[in-house]
Structure 1
Amino acid sequence: MIKKKICMLGAFAVGKTSLVQRYVHSLFSDKYHTTVGVKIDKKPVNINGTPVDLILWDIYGEDEFQAVRSSYLRGASGCLLVVDGTRRYTLDTAHDLLKRTQETVGNIPVVFVFNKFDLMDSWEIEPIQLDALEKQGMVIVRTSAKEASGVEKAFTTLVEMMLEE
């Protein structure tokens, strides 16, 4: 059985835990729970006939007071960089985390997850910014943990990228 570690990275309150809960347990809660340190979940999947055990590291959100520890990144096979579409600065945080991840573990597969698509009317991130990222070769998936849209696609896309490595 192939085992792959995925790190969930992003700013404080972008929806990392909600995405993991939706993906692993098909659950969503409107209540906000701060992640302290790291929460680890497992999910067995079958991607194109290949069984894979995913180990999902839901790492606390980065903010001006707390930076993600590089030790949490070690051993990662891929990362989901989660951005809250309703808060522009969370995209800047994702870029910073991408740089730090590459410095720590090299160029591993990364998917930018633009969460809270159900709140599109409140988005501060413009479609042109998403287009620019895609032109740079970044993989982008729009999600709503609340509505369960795009969640499966985000994880499956990343796992497929990891299996190609």
Structure 2
Amino acid sequence: MLESRSAIYKMINSDISSDRTIRKWPAPYSTDKTFYHDRDFSGVVRRVCAAQPLLPRISKVIVLGDVAVGKTSLVNRFCHKSFDTNYKATIGVDFEVEKFDVLGVPFNLQIWDTAGQERFKCIAASYYRGANVVMIVFDLGSLMSLHHCQQWLSDANSCNNGPYHIFLVGTKRDLLSNQVYDIVEKKAVEISRRMRAELWAVSARTGDGVPELFARVAALAFNASVLREVQSARVEPIVFGSELIKLNRETKKVRMKDRRIPKCSNCQNQL
């Protein structure tokens, strides 16, 4: 395997390319085809990132869909900027890591490219757990693959309890005329609304829409990750930096004081 294609090498390497640096909130493919209507990073997230250096964060993306819809081509276009016309079916799961810099914080996006063949479903399903983003891919030229997307989402739901973002991604946009695409898009919009997913149309061959799609995925996943951490801390989100550390230390002292066993009066007199 080439060093530049190694997931471990990418996680160790500290270099982050300019197209992986996110400072502004990425827009959706279309504002009327998304359930995520935030127009910017949360104010809490921006204040946390600006107030103190944060440890690198990791979010997991699983890519699902029928066989031959272009899942691997989509991932390769984004991760390696390449497109291979020689199709090879994925066996089990392939794993990629892409590093981002989001609001000055290192962020790793783990991309799990799963097999679409029925015989590999039991293997791939074990990797669905813990996903922060579910990306369901279909071929814009195949309505059958579009109708199967709801079942793929059901499979993901059966393995995940926590909240995650859902993307419905149509591939091979370059192969459709505008007239045919308009017809398919109407069907895709109906299904994406039932799935409560954000709809995208991209082309792995030309790269059209691919960087924008994954930038959007990274921003939403990062924003949710920091918000979860703030909420789990159980402190006022407006308190940061040294004041937050001070608050935690004082809270800990109070708790330790409450746990002390009071001495009886006889013992205190003896002392």
Shared fold (TM-score, shorter chain, > 0.5): yes
Q: Residue 112 in 1 paired to residue 168 in 2?
A: yes
Partner of 2:143: 88
Percent identity (aligned): 26
Distance 1:144 1:94 in 2: 18
| Corresponding residue SS for 2:136 | strand
Aligned-pair CA distance for 1:14:
0.7
Distance 1:50 1:26 in 2: 24
Higher RCO (C-alpha 8 Å, min separation 6): 1
Partner of 1:2: 57
Contact 1:88 / 1:124 at 8 angstroms: preserved in 2?
A: no
State the one-letter code of the partner of 1:54. L
Distance 2:71 2:102 in 1: 22
Aligned counterparts, 1:126-141, within 5 A: 126-133=184-191, 135-136=193-194, 137-141=196-200
- Structure 2 residue runs of 5 or longer lacking an equivalent are 1-55, 225-271
State the one-letter code of the partner of 2:152. L
Contact 1:10 / 1:16 at 8 angstroms: preserved in 2?
A: yes
Partner of 1:149: 208
TM-score (norm 2): 0.56
| Corresponding residue SS for 1:34 | coil
Aligned counterparts, 1:55-94, within 5 A: 55-63=110-118, 65-67=119-121, 69-94=124-149
Aligned-pair CA distance for 1:48:
4.3
Q: Residue 18 in 1 paired to residue 73 in 2?
A: yes
CA deviation map 1:3-54 (0-9, x unaligned): 1111111000111111111101111111101111111111101234442111
TM-score (norm 1): 0.88
State the number of aligned residues.
164
CA deviation map 1:47-82 (0-9, x unaligned): 34442111111111144x553542110121112111
Aligned counterparts, 1:40-51, within 5 A: 40-51=95-106
| Corresponding residue SS for 2:96 | strand
Aligned-pair CA distance for 1:128:
1.4
Aligned counterparts, 1:150-165, within 5 A: 150-165=209-224
Distance 1:125 1:90 in 2: 15
> Higher strand fraction: Structure 1 or Structure 2?
1
- Structure 1 residue runs of 5 or longer lacking an equivalent are none
Partner of 2:83: 28
Pick closer, same or farther for the CA change 1:131–1:124 going to 2, 3 Å.
closer
Aligned-pair CA distance for 1:164:
3.2
